[in-house]
Amino acid sequence: MADPAVNETVIGSDTTIKGDMTVESRARILGKFEGTIRAKGHLEIADAAQCRADVETGTVQIDGTMQGNITASDKAQLNATARVSGDLVAAKLIVAEGAAFTGHVSVGPDAVKGSGHHTPTPPAPPAPDASDKSGKK
Amino acid sequence: MHSLTARSFPLRRPRGVLPMARGAGPAGPRQVFCYHCDHPLTVGAMAMSTNCPGCNKPIILEDIVVKSYKAVFNVETCGKLIVKKGGRVVAQKRIVAHAGIESDGVIQCKTAITGSHVRLGKKSEWRGDLRTPTLIVEPGAKIQTSHFSVPDDPLEHLKKNDQ
Ligand SMILES: [Zn+2]
């Protein structure tokens, strides 16, 4: 169903980004990324990419190195060159022979429904009252 | 004196778990490791069981095939664990299958350790921690929250680069 003409965000191989990224459709990471990624469509982490992030996405395809928790509402695909460390929740999981993975895994339609604890933290929790300095952190 | 008659090893194969003879083939002796003490030993290609010279405990060398519901304490073999469609293995403790696991059924255990690949078929279900060098998960497999380690440290190369 993915429209090939749909917008795709590409982070190039010579790029390093730290922060939070929200993508409406598709994203492809070829370089380095640190932070959180929220992609409604498809996320691809390419062969030489290094990603240290919590990810929430529809489908994710990993060929590179990934450190962080992954929640895929549809499908997570770990290809042979993937190196993943972190917890993974997905409706469907495909692991190719040769992929390396360590972490807790939950796979199945029910796993995604009850996966609230894997949701990446929002970028900046809004302070209820900036002037209140005596309050909690 | 040729006393090569079938010798009954005091094997404790889990009840109802069917052993399967290794596929007929002219392969020569193979080396296996005792799953009790890791002692290496060389056995015949068609050997189905033996006693470990290291710890003197009986060890199963053949593949174990499960086609129905089997509740056991441990599943241990130097061969493969094969769970067919409709098969269900509930191991209270551990599963050790040195030659790997192939599942199209349901496997529940506390921990599973293999020395070769694990394949979870599209209709399979898994529950339990797993340590294996190679994992193949086909789309549709269900995994309940379990810790997977494939292999032990996938980010080892990054740590080396950092140093
Ligand atoms: Zn032994």
Question: Model confidence over B139-163: pLDDT tens digits?
Answer: 889 998 889 988 755 555 555 555 5
Q: Tell me, what's the ipTM?
A: 0.71
A33: tokens are 């990324």
Q: Rounded to a whole number, what is the distance in angstroms from the first to the last CA of chain A?
A: 45
Beta bridge partners of A66: A51, A84
B68 found inside a domain: yes
B11 found inside a domain: no
Question: How far is the C-alpha of B35 from the C-alpha of B12, rounded, in Å?
Answer: 14
Contacts of A83 in chain B (CB under 8 A): 154-155, 157-158
Q: What is the pLDDT of residue A98?
A: 87
CB-based contact (8 Å) between B152 and chain A?
A: yes
Model pTM score? 0.75
CA within 13 Å, CB half, B84 = 10
Question: How far is the C-alpha of A56 from the C-alpha of B3, rounded, in Å?
Answer: 66
B97 found inside a domain: yes
Q: How far is B89 from chain A (nearest CA, A)?
A: 19
B147 found inside a domain: yes
B31 found inside a domain: no
Q: Report which DSSP code applies to A131.
A: T
The parent domain of residue B116 ranges over 61-162
Q: How far is A85 from chain B (nearest CA, A)?
A: 7
Q: How far is A137 from chain B (nearest CA, A)?
A: 32
Contacts of A84 in chain B (CB under 8 A): 154
Is A104 in Cβ contact with B141 (below 8 Å)?
Answer: no
Regarding beta strands A100-107 and B142-150, do their DSSP bridges make them parallel or antiparallel, or are they unpaired?
A: antiparallel
Is B143 in Cβ contact with A107 (below 8 Å)?
Answer: yes
Please state, for a pLDDT cut of 70, what percent of chain A lies above it: 78
Question: How far is the C-alpha of B33 from the C-alpha of B96, rounded, in Å?
Answer: 11
Q: What is the pLDDT of residue A87?
A: 93
Question: How far is the C-alpha of A57 from the C-alpha of A69, rounded, in Å?
Answer: 11
Please state, for a pLDDT cut of 90, what percent of chain B lies above it: 54
Regarding beta strands B125-131 and A26-29, do their DSSP bridges make them parallel or antiparallel, or are they unpaired?
A: unpaired
Is A105 in Cβ contact with B146 (below 8 Å)?
Answer: yes
Give yes or no for a contact between A64 and A84, defined as CB atoms under 8 angstroms apart. no
Least confident of A46-60, A102-116, B29-43: A102-116
Number of CB pairs < 8 Å for A and B? 74
Q: Rounded to a whole number, what is the distance in angstroms from the first to the last CA of chain B?
A: 62
Domain borders along chain A are 8-112
User: Who wins on pLDDT, A137 or A2?
Assistant: A2
Q: What is the pLDDT of residue B19?
A: 55
- Is B133's pLDDT higher than 60? yes
Q: How far is B158 from chain A (nearest CA, A)?
A: 9
Distances, alpha carbon A14 to alpha carbons A10, A29, A31, in Å: 11, 11, 6
**Burial of B92 per CB tally in 10 Å (0-12, 13-18, 19+):** exposed
B85 found inside a domain: yes
Residue-averaged pLDDT of chain A: 82
Q: Which of residues 90-149 of B touch A (CB under 8 A)?
A: 117, 134-149
Q: How confident is the model at residue A110 (pLDDT cuts 50, 70, 90)?
A: confident
Is B140 in Cβ contact with A92 (below 8 Å)?
Answer: yes
Q: What is the pLDDT of residue A7?
A: 81
Regarding beta strands A26-29 and A16-23, do their DSSP bridges make them parallel or antiparallel, or are they unpaired?
A: unpaired
Least confident of B11-20, B32-41, B71-80, B120-129: B11-20
Question: Model confidence over B81-98: pLDDT tens digits?
Answer: 999 999 999 999 999 999
Question: How far is the C-alpha of A82 from the C-alpha of B157, rounded, in Å?
Answer: 12
User: Who wins on pLDDT, B30 or A115?
Assistant: B30
| Residue ranges of E strands in chain B | 18-20, 30-33, 40-43, 49-51, 58-60, 63-66, 69-72, 75-77, 81-83, 88-91, 94-97, 101-103, 106-114, 117-120, 125-131, 134-137, 142-150
Q: What is the pLDDT of residue A6?
A: 67
Chain B residue whose CA is closest to A76 = B139
Regarding beta strands B49-51 and B58-60, do their DSSP bridges make them parallel or antiparallel, or are they unpaired?
A: antiparallel
Is B150 in Cβ contact with A96 (below 8 Å)?
Answer: no
Q: What is the pLDDT of residue B156?
A: 57
Distance B30 CA to ligand 1 centre (A): 16
B34 found inside a domain: no
Q: What is the pLDDT of residue A135?
A: 40
Is B158 in Cβ contact with A101 (below 8 Å)?
Answer: no
Question: How far is the C-alpha of B19 from the C-alpha of A5, rounded, in Å?
Answer: 55
